[in-house]
């Protein structure tokens, strides 16, 4: 058995097979398990560990209890040429989101753009999984979701809005790197606080507030209140508008109505999403787009900078590099490895290392 150090690595194929296997063993359909595994492995492979395979510790208990029905399927309840509304039927969020973005891309290829609004879903993982899925279909992709309340400005005594992520990805230029933005409306995703609390580590200043509404570096105190918005009122305003676009537009739940994510939750979350696809070839010549993007990238890479400054990179580059580095082996922290081994024992499929 490998030593439980920060340098422990696992073969990506082994991790994928185990992840899909444990989801199937816990009640997920082949489609739901496949989509969820793809989402988790995509996040892990690009360095988004907080939204990667580690998130199984939330998904598996809900599958086993039936809170997330593993055999549920999303249902189209409104179907227009360029827009659709989907009821997720409380299915696994990654399955619902994959279905929805695929539909948005299909509509974009017919109409130039496609919009799919989703209600009654659940946590879908990293938002960029679906925006980048659109780029594989020749589309610019935009994905967003509301979430259970976990963010509030300094002084609040309880969470007000979700961290409400948004992701935008575009087909690559001639260098092949996908420009990809994935961000929460908060300074940091709440899952980072959960991970710090699980590892008994402090959190950086400026991440969160405690139960008295004041800033805290104690992860457990932060769990009693919330993380804070990035840029103060700007992040808060963005989260609010994502709630409008995802929750209000779909006829679904808004942040305060969404059930707080917890392994022992007793009912469906009711998360809402929005997916937008813009078919590139319907709007412009691909060669002109690529040349323009190449010039934009070069303007970033070649911008004058101080001798002590870090290199200037564009969104998506760090994830591209992480993906290349992790292709031969995915590093797993000691606390995450212990948790995954425990899950393997609890759910009847031994973790492969």
Quick: pLDDT tens for 10-36: 999 999 999 999 999 999 999 999 999
The pLDDT-based confidence of 193 (bands split at 50, 70, 90) is very high
Residues 77 and 221 in one domain: no
What DSSP assignment string belongs to 64-82?
HHTSS-TT---EEEEE-SS
Round to whole Å and give the CA distance between 265 and 112. 41
Round to whole Å and give the CA distance between 143 and 273. 7
Among 271, 276, 273, residue whose Cα is nearest residue 245 = 273
* 135, part of any domain: yes
Q: Mean pLDDT over residues 220-234, rounded? A: 95
Contact in structure between 184 and 165 (CB atoms under 8 Å): yes
Residues 203 and 275 in one domain: no
> Based on the structure, what is the number of domains in the chain?
2
| Percent residues over pLDDT 90 in the chain | 92
Range name among 101-110, 134-143, 243-252, 260-269 with the lowest pLDDT average:
260-269
Looking at residue 262, its pLDDT comes to: 77
Residues 117 and 205 in one domain: no
Residues 123 and 204 in one domain: no
Looking at residue 3, its pLDDT comes to: 38
Beta bridge partners of 144: 166, 274
Residues 27 and 140 in one domain: yes
The pLDDT-based confidence of 4 (bands split at 50, 70, 90) is very low
- The SS3 call for residue 277 is strand
Among 246, 252, 275, 242, residue whose Cα is nearest residue 103 = 275
Beta bridge partners of 271: 121
Looking at residue 276, its pLDDT comes to: 99
* 95, part of any domain: yes
Segments of 178-279 assigned E as strands: 180-183, 208-209, 215-216, 226-227, 271-279
Residues 194 and 177 in one domain: no
268 pLDDT more than 80: yes
What DSSP assignment string belongs to 135-174?
HTTTEEEEEEE--SS-B--TT-SS--B----EEEE----T
Residue 345 or 198, more confident = 345
Residues 133 and 222 in one domain: no
* 91, part of any domain: yes
Q: Mean pLDDT over residues 184-199, rounded? A: 88
Looking only at the bridges linking them, the beta strands covering 215-216 and 208-209 are antiparallel
166 pLDDT more than 90: yes
Residues 116 and 195 in one domain: no
Contact in structure between 311 and 303 (CB atoms under 8 Å): no
The pLDDT-based confidence of 2 (bands split at 50, 70, 90) is very low
* 258, part of any domain: yes
Looking at residue 5, its pLDDT comes to: 44
CATH code, 203: 3.30.60.50
Residues 197 and 181 in one domain: no
Residues 199 and 103 in one domain: no
Domain that holds residue 197: 187-228
Helix or strand holding residue 63 (H, E): helix 56-65
- The SS3 call for residue 181 is strand
Domain end, chosen from 228, 246, 261, is at 228
Give, in order, the Cα–Cα distances in Å from 49 to each of 126, 311, 333: 10, 24, 10
* 290, part of any domain: no
Round to whole Å and give the CA distance between 96 and 252. 14
Tokens of 96: 């619902």
* 73, part of any domain: yes
* 124, part of any domain: yes
Looking at residue 192, its pLDDT comes to: 86
Residues 221 and 242 in one domain: no
Tokens of 225: 């209140």
**What is the pLDDT of the chain when averaged over all its residues?**
95
Helices 12-25, 334-346: axis angle to 10 degrees equals 40
Round to whole Å and give the CA distance between 309 and 321. 20
314: Cβ–Cβ under 8 A, 6 or more apart, which residues? 179, 296, 297, 300, 301
| Percent residues over pLDDT 70 in the chain | 98
The pLDDT-based confidence of 199 (bands split at 50, 70, 90) is confident
Looking at residue 190, its pLDDT comes to: 83
The pLDDT-based confidence of 150 (bands split at 50, 70, 90) is very high
CATH code, 254: 3.30.1370.60
Residues 214 and 239 in one domain: no
* 300, part of any domain: no
């Amino acid at each position: 058995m490998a030593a439980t150090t920060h340098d422990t690595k696992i073969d990506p194929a082994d991790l994928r097979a185990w992840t899909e296997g444990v989801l199937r063993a816990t009640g997920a359909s082949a489609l739901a398990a496949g989509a969820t595994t793809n989402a988790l492995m995509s996040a892990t492979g690009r360095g988004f560990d907080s939204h990667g395979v580690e998130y199984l510790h939330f998904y598996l208990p809900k599958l086993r209890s039936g809170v997330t029905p593993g055999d549920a399927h999303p249902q189209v309840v409104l179907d227009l040429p360029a827009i659709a509304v989907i009821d997720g039927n409380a299915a696994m969020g990654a399955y619902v989101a994959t279905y929805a973005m695929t539909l948005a891309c299909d509509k974009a290829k017919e109409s130039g753009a496609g919009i799919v609004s989703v209600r009654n879903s659940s946590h879908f993982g990293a938002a960029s999984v679906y925006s980048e899925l659109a780029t594989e279909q020749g589309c610019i992709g935009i994905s967003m979701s509301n979430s259970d309340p976990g963010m509030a400005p300094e002084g609040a005594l309880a969470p007000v809005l979700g961290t409400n992520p948004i992701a935008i990805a575009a087909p690559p230029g001639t260098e092949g790197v996908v420009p990809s933005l994935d961000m929460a409306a908060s300074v940091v995703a709440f899952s980072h606080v959960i991970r710090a609390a699980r590892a008994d580590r402090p959190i950086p200043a400026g991440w969160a507030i405690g139960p008295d509404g004041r800033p805290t570096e104690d992860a457990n105190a932060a769990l009693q209140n919330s993380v804070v918005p990035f840029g103060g009122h700007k992040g808060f305003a963005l989260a609010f508008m994502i709630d409008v676009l995802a929750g209000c537009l779909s006829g679904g739940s808004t942040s305060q109505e969404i059930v707080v994510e917890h392994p022992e939750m007793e009912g469906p979350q009711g998360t809402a999403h929005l997916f937008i696809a813009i078919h590139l070839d319907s709007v412009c010549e691909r060669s002109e787009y690529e040349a323009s993007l190449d010039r934009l990238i070069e303007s970033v890479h070649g911008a004058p900078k101080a001798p002590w400054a870090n290199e200037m990179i564009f969104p998506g580059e760090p994830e591209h590099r992480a993906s290349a580095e992790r292709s031969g082996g995915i590093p797993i922290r000691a606390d995450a490895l212990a948790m995954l081994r425990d899950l393997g024992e609890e759910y009847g499929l031994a973790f492969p290392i």
